[in-house]
Amino acid sequence: MVSAEGLSGSLPTAKQYGVTKPISLAGPTEADIQRSAELEKFLVNAGLYESKEEAEKRQEVLDRIRVIVKEWVKHVTRMRGYLDQMVEDANALIFTFGSYRLGVHGPGADIDTLCVGPTYVNREEDFFFILHDILAQMDEVTELQPVPDAHVPVMKFKFDGISIDLLYASVSQMVVPEDLDISDVSVLYEVDEPTVRSLNGCRVADQILKLVPNIQHFRMTLRCLKFWAKRRGVYSNVTGFLGGVNWALLVARVCQLYPNAVPSMLVSRFFRVYTQWRWPNPVMLCPIEEDVLGFSVWDPRKNPRDRTHHMPIITPAYPCMNSSYNVSTSTLRVMMEQFQYGNKTCEEIELNKAQWSALFEPYMFFESYKNYLQVDIVAADSDDLRSWKGWVESRLRQLTLMIERDTYGKLQCHPYPHEYVDTSKQCAHTAFFMGLQRKQGEKIEEGQQFDIRGTVDEFRHSINMYMFWKPGMEIFVSHVRRKQIPSYVFPEGYRRVRSRASGPHQCDKTPPDDGDGNKHHLKRKKDLEGGDIKREGAEKRMSISPQRRDATSPETVCSNKSTNISSESPTASSNGKKDTRDYSTLAIRTSEGKPRSMEVDEQWQRDEAVEHENNVEGRSSSNSSVVLIPACEVSSYEGVGLEGNGSADGSADGSNNPGSSTGDSCEADSVLSMAGSSEPNASLGIALTSMAGLDPEVQKPVISLTAG
């Protein structure tokens, strides 16, 4: 925590931190010091600081792991046939990195750890087999999960209730000295790239702490912004947003630009700087060190692949890499919008028009779009689900990129980095969601629609290549409308009634009224009365649509229900409610666990509708495979629209270009262009495809891109 003396005792410094001169050397005013104290109080009350007892327990666990790895290395040394003296000298060290090393971890957070061993102890056999077996036999160790094929190979487990992510690096020394300095570039001699990536977690954390002007201020600011990012749904490296090290580097750069600022100032300046940053100009804490050992460093002048990065945030330790290569056009757009939200809120806080709590209002994801993709992941038990979910989640970003590729960027995805569990299912289950919107400013064409069946099939095929697949591991991708979002995603188990007047950037825009409160309703009613004409046109379009493929709903797999079908109508269930789900295709697995195809006829669709309604008692959801994504209903952020470029006004204390040494503005022009003749939130016409006489209310939507 930051003491009052630390807040008020900031003295101007002339030292330059980073690759450019600071924007301002101004220190805090009394109001800034007061706001920092209020911010710290808010963070404490939010439970972001661990207790003294938990901190002591973490230290005990780390000490215990140090003993275990030392004994493990001695055991391997003895197995290799080395002399007794070599066995006695054999050593392994434990280092920490990530939030724990930076000092910003909270209660229940995992500890990122690195084990450094001698050259003859390898990762493939000694670490992932021998050490794994040693840990598996210990009562204190639970949820042991090796991930050898990860970009950075890791072993995950809980030790006495504390979550541990353990990496391994074998350095080119026969005996690892107790005073090994892993910040020295010599540790990278004669090691492979996975080892370099493993070592660099610790090396980067150490460099960050060396490159910031005030570690206390950096820690409190980073703790605040990590909490903000999680509340606003933009904290997840694997999903295409930013992870812990990315946020640390962004905050550290702002600390360099305002070396005498206190945390309340740094939070405000953070949003001011990054709403104006001209991506893809890189964020760097120090000059990029040239290649000295043959490892590739980030350099778009030499590496064509580096030119495709949208939001480069460069690590400060050799070999310098882009830590945010997962960011896509869609996730960058989402983050820029959230930066705008943070900047506007901080301006209100500085004007005493809002409290700090306003900055941390949770993002209302399920109120922000009209259409979503629902990705259901199921497995036979929780252990299988843990590994299966990790595999699927690590590849959800690919689904986003594939959809953008196949729709030429016209359909944008917002992957939400939170998982939801339906406890009513008989099997282990989790679900992820993606918001869908048409590209802002994109002009629509008559009859245009988004057909991503092939995209989803390609994604599912890549997921099913999982080498550790077991029977029961299934994935289902569905298109659901906002009103069909399942109730288990809401904290209270039901959807809140949306008010017409909510906070900024949160909820839906009010439908156009034009002075007559019933006009919008009457227009929709008139459209429905003329639905036969629209359906006739839609039937013609459907005749050239690709053949439907096979998928299934997780209810079918989880409950192992028979595929025998009855003749009940899908338009109503036993409780009288209509089923509005998308019935597209069916895929089931045989007893051998291999997929087989089954034609979907309208009779099965009717029975599945009735069975679903009986099982979930009217809860509306969709778990069938996506066929056609409605283009004209694909909305943008509702209530999160920004005006203009989103460039923020410079501060009175001066500004400079943080990406280069020239210019008067902070590397900034918003990458978003909100202008355009076609507002993505506009009310658009809907045409339903007629399907063998089924009620249009339960059919697959095929929506034309014409304004209604």
CATH of domain 365-481: 3.30.70.590
pLDDT at 598: 28
Above 90 in pLDDT, residue 574? Answer: no
Residue 280, preceding peptide bond in cis (omega within 30° of 0)? yes
Domain 32-46+225-359, what architecture?
Orthogonal Bundle (1.10)
The yes-or-no answer on residue 422 being catalytic is no
Q: What pLDDT shows up at residue 296?
A: 87
Q: Which of 24, 74, 112, 323 is catalytic?
A: 112
Residue 99: active-site member: yes
Q: Which of 36, 99, 236, 584 is catalytic?
A: 99
| Domain locations along the chain | 32-46+225-359, 52-211, 365-481
pLDDT at 335 over 50: yes
Among the listed ranges 315-324, 397-406, 503-512, which one has the minimum average pLDDT value? 503-512
**Which residues are CB-contacts of 673 (< 8 A; sequence separation ≥ 6)?**
440, 441, 645
Active site residue 133: no
CATH number of the structural domain 52-211: 3.30.460.10
299-303, 565-569, 682-686, range with the lowest pLDDT: 682-686
Q: What is the DSSP string of 182-193?
A: TTSGGGGTT--H
Q: Which of 89, 110, 160, 383 is catalytic?
A: 110
- 408 has catalytic annotation: no
Cα separation, 92 vs 522, in Å, equals 74
Strand 111-117, strand 162-170: pairing:
parallel
First to last CA, the chain: 56
- Residue 534: predicted pLDDT: 40
Q: Which residue has the higher pLDDT, 556 or 260?
A: 260
To the query of whether residue 235 is one of the catalytic residues in this protein, the response is yes
Average pLDDT of the residues of the chain: 75
Instruction: Give me the pLDDT at residue 372, please.
Output: 95
b (16+ CB within 10 A) / e for 116-136: bbbeebebeebbbebbbeebe
Residues near 662 by beta carbon (within 8 Å), at least 6 away in sequence: none
* 684-701 mean pLDDT: 29
The pLDDT assigned to 86 comes to 95
Task: Tell me the average pLDDT across 29-43.
Answer: 97
Higher pLDDT, 89 or 501: 89
Cα–Cα distance, 587 to 557 (Å, whole number): 10
Residue type, 599: E
The one catalytic residue in 226, 389, 410, 534 is: 226
Q: What is the DSSP secondary structure assignment for residue 371, as one 8-state letter?
A: E
Tell me the whole-structure pTM to 2 decimals. Answer: 0.72
**Which of the following is catalytic: 49, 235, 363, 583?**
235
Q: Which of 24, 49, 74, 165 is catalytic?
A: 165
d(CA 239, CA 398): 9
Residue 372 known to be catalytic: no
